[in-house]
Structure 1
């Protein structure tokens, strides 16, 4: 029943989306801070996830444990400012319903460890996530602190792939990215543009004051829809309608241009060290992508890598 529900809703989303062929020229790429250094594109994210899961499996195998690689969790490739092109909106709305429908099932390692003794299962968990005796707290300005256990495969596989200091660099860049987003969206120009967007949305019968409010409404409806076919169909229709109107109002209010200008100014004020940090993080990810064999896919429910 769940599969039929997912297929039916996904089919609806695709048909409705494809039926609204765009009648305008493709616009400029939407602005993202530091050329997207802190937020890999969805395709790149999938490759990185696969590489990380293989590294975890290898580490667990070296410690004498099996590990089933966990499939990636689909996530909408959302612009960090909440911007949306008309093409994206007409094709997949905000990407929320399709991402929810494509979500993988339970962690395959639950089945792997079924029937194990309590002692062996705890040993498996210690090998994977490490122990509190080896806990470190990593901090960076404008970013939440990150606690890691340095003797676990989750942490060690990151170091193997990206190099020492990776978690510190990644967290520091997240802080720079967050500060940039805040600086850009705190300007008077942005506030004026968002008010113009809200007026446009109200003229379409949508009462939202901010871009986040519109997406949040769909997220709330999706959370309440469960797996009921008719409820999912309603959410899919509403998502497409709302996203298309959202994108059109963004165009009319020139929000992307306002953000692009504000971001250019904010990035010019960054110290050279911030730009070098972005280049370092991007280069590390690109190396991993380049070293990952083409066509590699994370298995959904295959035999465990390593001993069981």
Structure 2
């Protein structure tokens, strides 16, 4: 992933606050806007959707396994930069967590269960889950051009309707909002405040013995080193990953890189509100609706 693409994800959950250049009027306006869900809340919604899907599949006579791994603490996405030094000290960049998650995905019991069904039961399973070949197709335009499609039906639609109320509106607005970075990415990457913060971060990590130009370069180097050392030297690779991640997070905190990136992304996102404000607010309102229902369906992840 390029430095540009990676940095664009840093403030995905923080774009409910106005950027520094917007002035007092925009700060007042933003206070009345719906806020994006936190990662903790997003996980609870995802768990609720799995629970509702499993209950629906059970009514159709099929087994559906819910997945509530990893833990809430482990599930923190690093994205481009994170400044939680304690987390970095414990998990590095999350390399071992991701490797474990990948093994779980490869051993997904749902896929094994489905393959063990007869051809007719397998078709019935697919129809029950997402409508099968007869499901309707949803289409969402992408802000940067093109469109994305999704099949919707069966228990998937039932679960989404229970949570969001309008699955089609949720799909469309979620793809619009999460694709807005394509419209401001280049300007964000050239923003003087962000580039100054990155340079300060690089000076800080160099003093800590980690000479990288930006956080993505540090993570890329760790990934290459882990692959080079292999399974036989996995502990050595993880120790190195943790050292780099701790320096990264420490310097991100000292230079305020994460907050600067979030602030500048919010600034550029708010400049698109004249075109996409309704989509942003609808997306967040539907997310809030889903969370309000999720708290009555599943407990918070441990």
Using the size of structure 1 for normalisation, the TM-score is 0.70
Verify the 8 A CA contact 2:163 2:294 in the aligned structure 1: no
Residues 234, 192 of structure 1: alpha-carbon distance in 2 compared, 3 angstrom cutoff: same
The 4+ residue runs of structure 1 with deviation greater than 6 A are: none
Gaps of 5+ in 1: 1-28, 298-308
Post-superposition Cα deviations, 1:197-239, rounded to whole Å, max 9, x if no partner, equal 223333444343221222233344556677x3x4321232112
Verify the 8 A CA contact 1:34 1:278 in the aligned structure 2: no
Task: Report the equivalent of 2:220.
Answer: 216
Task: Report the equivalent of 2:285.
Answer: 280
- 1:121, CA displacement in angstroms? 1.4
1:189 to 189, 193, 198: 193
- 1:163, CA displacement in angstroms? 1.4
Matched, 1:69 2:65: yes
- 1:71, CA displacement in angstroms? 1.1
Verify the 8 A CA contact 1:142 1:179 in the aligned structure 2: yes
Post-superposition Cα deviations, 1:166-224, rounded to whole Å, max 9, x if no partner, equal 21122222124665666543312212221232233334443432212222333445566
- 1:241, CA displacement in angstroms? 0.2
1:200 to 199, 204, 214: 204
The 5 Å alignment of 1:286-305 reads: 286-294=291-299
Q: What is the SS of the residue equivalent to 1:135?
A: strand
Q: Partners in 2 of 1:54 and 1:31 — Cα distance?
A: 24
Verify the 8 A CA contact 1:159 1:166 in the aligned structure 2: no
Residues 188, 218 of structure 1: alpha-carbon distance in 2 compared, 3 angstrom cutoff: same
- 1:246, CA displacement in angstroms? 0.8
Q: What is the SS of the residue equivalent to 2:295?
A: helix
Using the size of structure 2 for normalisation, the TM-score is 0.71
Gaps of 5+ in 2: 1-10, 18-33
Verify the 8 A CA contact 1:93 1:240 in the aligned structure 2: yes
Name the count of aligned residue pairs.
Answer: 265
The 5 Å alignment of 1:156-175 reads: 156-164=158-166, 165-175=169-179
- 1:116, CA displacement in angstroms? 2.4
- 1:123, CA displacement in angstroms? 2.6
Task: Report the equivalent of 2:16.
Answer: 34
* Pairwise CA RMSD: 3.5
Q: Partners in 1 of 2:13 and 2:171 — Cα distance?
A: 25
